[in-house]
Chain A
Amino acid sequence: MAEKKKKGVRLEHISKIYQDPKTHVDFYAVNDVSLDIAPGSFITLLGPSGCGKTTTLRMIAGFESPDAGEIYLGGEPINALTPNKRDTAMVFQSYALFPHYNVFDNVAYGLKLRKVPKDEIQKRVSDILKLVELGGMEARMTNQLSGGQQQRVALARALVVEPGVLLFDEPLSNLDAKLRVQMRTEIRRIQQILGITAIYVTHDQSEAMSISDQIILMRQGVVAQMGTPTEIYYHPNSEFVADFIGECNFLEGVVEGKKDGFQVNVDGHLVDCATGRDTAAGEKCKVVVRPEAITIADTGLLPCKVELSCFMGSYQNYHVRVGNTLVKIADNCPVNKKVYNVGDSAFISFDRACAHLL
């Protein structure tokens, strides 16, 4: 059913200006954002609070109007359309279920507005409820449901109208951690089955990485980086992106050579990076390495001194000093490995493919 309905979304130079309520100074909540979202893809707008991700989503839904630029849905400009005339459906952070309706009426709400015949409503609602694994719950009132179930109802309510694009506004932030993981795979599964275009807003980077085809990382109203989860994780284009998407070490150094990647001099030791930004020899730079990519041993690439050693269960957590830089290491499966204690001297090393130059 979703095949013919799914639509792409295009944002052209979208800006939104707000006024600070206290100082009355205008500022850009969203600043010249251009996106092209392919039909059927799952996109995540990721960023810290106040980065403009929710505003962008609400502009697509139509609750806010952009101050510059045009939004296209399935090729049509929709700037002037009110939310009820747009082919979008949103899943809200607070679920926003109608408390005076039962599950069935909640899900059927959009269909009734579209004047769908009664028996078809019946069929489509029960189909979609089965899909979200709420079959047989039609008559329940929403306050009799658990948080996860409410979330599923909200999802079903948005899905059942077969929108051109599905919008998620931090839908999982009210759930507990375990449920959150379960629901996000669920959302991904359903999106894949229906092949629907989805735009998902979250501030949780692990959620973003596990769920999306593309991540758009935003900061202060502008797109900081856009790419697949792997790209963003391993090839961040800025310290901010690198740091936001996960724990990260930055080793300062100077570019020495550019043969098949980069050779960087870190504290007198030569470090090999597979990827990085375009730099010239002699330029100052930083080498980005994730904590889990680093191994600690008696021999290796860079000498270090252990300052913290802490057993975390699945890994041993080290803080070591390399020159003047504090480096975090997550040493996986520490059972059979040598454990270093505070004050020990050791060496760290990492694969060149895991080192990215900034």
Chain B
Amino acid sequence: MTARGRQSARLDRRKFFGDPVLVGTIILLTLFLCLFILYPLATLLLDSVLVRQTQLYSVTALLQEEKTYYRADGQVADKDGDAIFALLSSPVEGLEDKLVPLYAKGGLFSRQATLKEAGNPLFLKVVNSRDRTVYLSVDDLLTVQSVPATYRANSRLIKKMDGIEPEDVCIQLNANQWTLDAFPRIFKDYTFNRALRNTLLLGAITGFGSLLIGLLFAYVDVYVHIRSRFAKKLFDVVSMLPVVSPPFVLSLSMILLFGRGGLITRKLLGIYDSDIYGLWGIVIVQTLTFFPVVYLMLKGLLKNIDPSMEEAARDMGASRWKVFMTVTLPLMLPGLGNAFLVTFIESVADFANPMIIGGSFDTLATTIYLRITGGTYDINGASAMAVVLLALTLCLFLIQKYILEAKTAATLTGKASRVRMLIEDRSVRYPLSLFCVLVSIFVVLMYIAVPFGALFKLWGRDYSLSTKWFAQMFREGGWKAFKDSFMLSLIASPVTALLSMIISYLVVKRKFHGKGFIEFVSMLAMAVPGTVLGVGFIRGFAGGVFRTGFLQSIYGTGLILVIVFVVRSLPVGTRSGISALRQIDKSIEESAYDLGAGSGKVFTSVTLPLIKDSFLSGLVTTFVRSITAISAVILLVTPRYLLITCRINEYAEKGEYGVACAYATVLIAITYAAILIMNAVIRRFGTSRTTGETK
């Protein structure tokens, strides 16, 4: 059997490389994924183990009349030719003299020397002993090497600039050091430990809470006969709301309704010292945000359970409760675990809610954010924490994706054989549906509170209507925020939608090495909390890729924000694309291929039109996710761009809930409009209209 792997592999390879569009796409895609997903995460890992120390050295050795150059071995160089090192001494006590290469690769002037040819005036960034940055003209320093006459001019330049002597001027030299100090350090750190404990506790409580409520909703929806059309409509609305809404809307309304000046706590109940900031505040908000996800997941599962199994148990004399405990629940167990982990990950990765309503209850995500933006700029600590957070979510994600999802699929496959007899029993129907309706009304109320928060003159005191918060919003850069958020999201959404369709096409329809890699990495982004990604991007691109300056220019621009949007939405789009493509018969694309279309043509003329629905919904999902995103971009946004979400966070932190609500109201309106437009477009141009049911 030696023929295997020889000729066919060779031929397949030749055919594969004979398709430049395909090869090019795969290479570009791989580069994109490596650069913008793997690389930032790798940098984080590196940062947490690599300590970068800066040490000061005097530049006098470079500026002396009688310069002495050295060889690498420390011997004084005789000839001009091998003068490549300078011996620098440091004004700092305890630091030994250091031989610094001048022109060699990685040397003091190596990059400057090449840059000089471009004709830019270049300066060497040095620090004087009073820690002020001084720029030394490199042009002058370089000429010093060959023409001693200009050396004085250089000296004068320094004096003129800051009125300091050359002796005061120091070069900052970096010394990278590998250590594992960061991890033991943060594990001893009280703040970190508390944050870790908080995060796990929060994740667990939110996970269980969402699971319970979600399960109840799903059970009522699938098993119980609900007569009221209003209730059904209500469930639909509730299950759609978290998709549409920005992540922190519930936190805002929680404060409005139950905070110190809350409508319910103060006005209705007369409680003046209510404190919803902290664990329970977040738990309630997160549970209400995430349970609809669980509800939708479990609803799908419950529908797949064959009713005759339960009927068989009932027939043998089991009570309804007994059936649920012994048949339904065990069947759903992997699915429940799956849903729990998904919520857990979401909760752990959530940034906005703990930020707004957390008070002093810090989670990992917020602690990392504060480490970076706060006074103690502890990048090593933040990176190490980000690595811990990433490890946590990644483990859960892997368990969820590769163990529980497979188990869920294994126990509950196929369709129910017949229609389920819905529960008519009033003693079951009334309490269950009443509970669900109450929860739903509560959620809807919380969403309604937000626009009113923007319309009331002063929440808690003066409930007369006014537009002053909207006025203030537009006065303080509101338009720009909307424009920027809108534009950036608008750019990100087609890019993501197209990219995720291409990825799903490659994953489902093509065979090539590295396919698993592409699938895994694009799904990986789902497990990466936004905060971690944000820190990774800062560390990875602030000084260019690997601190070489490459791609440094994108840092601080809108482009990097767009890229973050793309990376954050990619898994969602890819997942829907993959499931859409799996439905499509392989031979449809093969026939196009066979008739003479190349890969690019097959994709644009056949694949893409066939998954148009998925593409369109990807377009809108990305748009909505991008415009409501906060956790990653808040770390990367610069004053050049104002983002709605960051503005809301800003105002909420300042306690100006009126403006925050005004922003949130407009944001909800935008996302809701986007979804309405999408539904209209899909109804008008969707594939279902043209293809109908396929045989």
Contacts and interface: CB of A to CB of B under 8 A. Distances in A.
Given A62-B15, A80-B18, A147-B695, A96 B7 contact: no
Contacts of A94: 585, 587-588
B14 interface: yes
A96 B588 contact: yes
A83 B594 contact: yes
A84 to B, nearest CB: 5
Interface of A: 15-17, 19, 26, 61-68, 79-86, 88-90, 92-94, 96-100, 109-110, 113-114, 141, 143, 147, 154, 157-158, 161, 174
B15 A96 contact: no
The 7 closest A-B pairs by CB, nearest first: A65-B11, A99-B691, A110-B595, A96-B587, A96-B591, A65-B8, A92-B587
A15 B605 CA distance: 34
Nearest to B11: A65
A282 to B, nearest CB: 41
A61 B8 CA distance: 14
Interface in B25-62: none
Interface stretch (B382-390, B422-430, B596-604, B636-644): B596-604
Given A65-B12, A79-B11, A88 B691 contact: no
Contacts of B14: 80
A61 B596 CA distance: 11
B595 A96 contact: no
Contacts of B610: 98-100
B580 to A, nearest CB: 13
Contact of B691 (A19, A64, A143): A143
B609 interface: yes
Interface of B: 1, 3-4, 6-9, 11-12, 14-15, 18-19, 585, 587-588, 590-598, 601, 605-606, 609-610, 612, 687, 690-695
Is chain B's binding surface mostly helix, strand, loop or mixed? helix
Contact of A17 (B1, B587, B605): B1
Contacts of A19: 4
Given A61-B594, A84-B597, A17 B691 contact: no
7 contacts: A80-B15, A82-B598, A90-B590, A96-B587, A109-B605, A141-B692, A143-B691
Given A68-B3, A94-B585, A16 B596 contact: no
A157 B587 CA distance: 14
B590 A83 contact: yes
Contacts of A67: 3-4, 6-8
A345 B585 CA distance: 57
A113 B601 contact: yes
A100 B594 contact: no
A96 B692 CA distance: 15
Nearest to B584: A99
B15 A99 contact: no
Given A99-B694, A113-B597, A143-B692, A65 B592 contact: no
A109 B595 contact: yes
A79 B9 CA distance: 12
B588 A16 contact: no
Contact of B15 (A82, A100, A174): A82
A279 B612 CA distance: 66
Given A68-B3, A94-B585, A99 B687 contact: yes
Contacts of B609: 98, 100
A97 B595 contact: no
A19 B3 CA distance: 13
Most chain A beta carbons < 10 A, residue from B8, B14, B695: B8
B587 A15 contact: no
A98 B691 CA distance: 9
A26 B6 CA distance: 14
Contact of B594 (A66, A88, A141, A147): A88
A80 B11 contact: yes
Nearest to A91: B591
Contacts, number: 120
A110 B601 CA distance: 11
Contacts of A93: 587
Contacts of A90: 590-591, 594
B6 A97 contact: no
Most chain A beta carbons < 10 A, residue from B6, B595, B601: B595
Nearest to B9: A65
Given A26-B1, A90-B591, A81 B15 contact: yes
Nearest to B15: A82
A98 B592 contact: yes
Given A82-B18, A84-B598, A143-B693, A15 B592 contact: no
A206 B11 CA distance: 36
Contacts of A174: 695
A94 B11 CA distance: 27
B616 to A, nearest CB: 14
Contacts of A83: 590, 593-594
A175 B11 CA distance: 36
Nearest to A141: B690
B695 A65 contact: no
A86 B598 CA distance: 12
A90 B587 CA distance: 10
A63 B590 contact: yes
B694 A161 contact: no
Contact of B687 (A17, A61, A100, A157): A100
Given A26-B1, A81-B15, A113-B596, A100 B690 contact: yes
Contacts of B585: 94, 96
B690 A99 contact: yes
Nearest to A106: B591
Contact of A15 (B3, B601, B692): B3
Contacts of A26: 1, 4
Given A98-B606, A100-B691, A143-B693, A66 B11 contact: yes
Contacts of A16: 8
A338 to B, nearest CB: 49
Nearest to B690: A100
A82 B597 CA distance: 10
A103 B360 CA distance: 66
Given A85-B596, A99-B610, 7 more contacts: A61-B594, A82-B19, A82-B598, A94-B588, A96-B588, A100-B690, A141-B691
Nearest to A19: B4
A221 to B, nearest CB: 13
A241 B684 CA distance: 56
A143 B424 CA distance: 41
A15 B5 CA distance: 12
A99 B592 CA distance: 12
B615 to A, nearest CB: 12
A143 B11 contact: no
B381 to A, nearest CB: 48
B461 to A, nearest CB: 60
Contacts of B7: 65-68
A84 B587 contact: no
B587 to A, nearest CB: 4
Given A16-B8, A65-B7, A161 B690 contact: no
Contacts of A68: 3, 7
Contacts of A84: 593-598
A84 B599 CA distance: 9
Contacts of B694: 99, 143
A96 B694 CA distance: 11
A204 B605 CA distance: 35
Contacts of A161: 595-596
Contact of B595 (A15, A62, A113): A113
Contact of B3 (A17, A63, A79, A143): A17
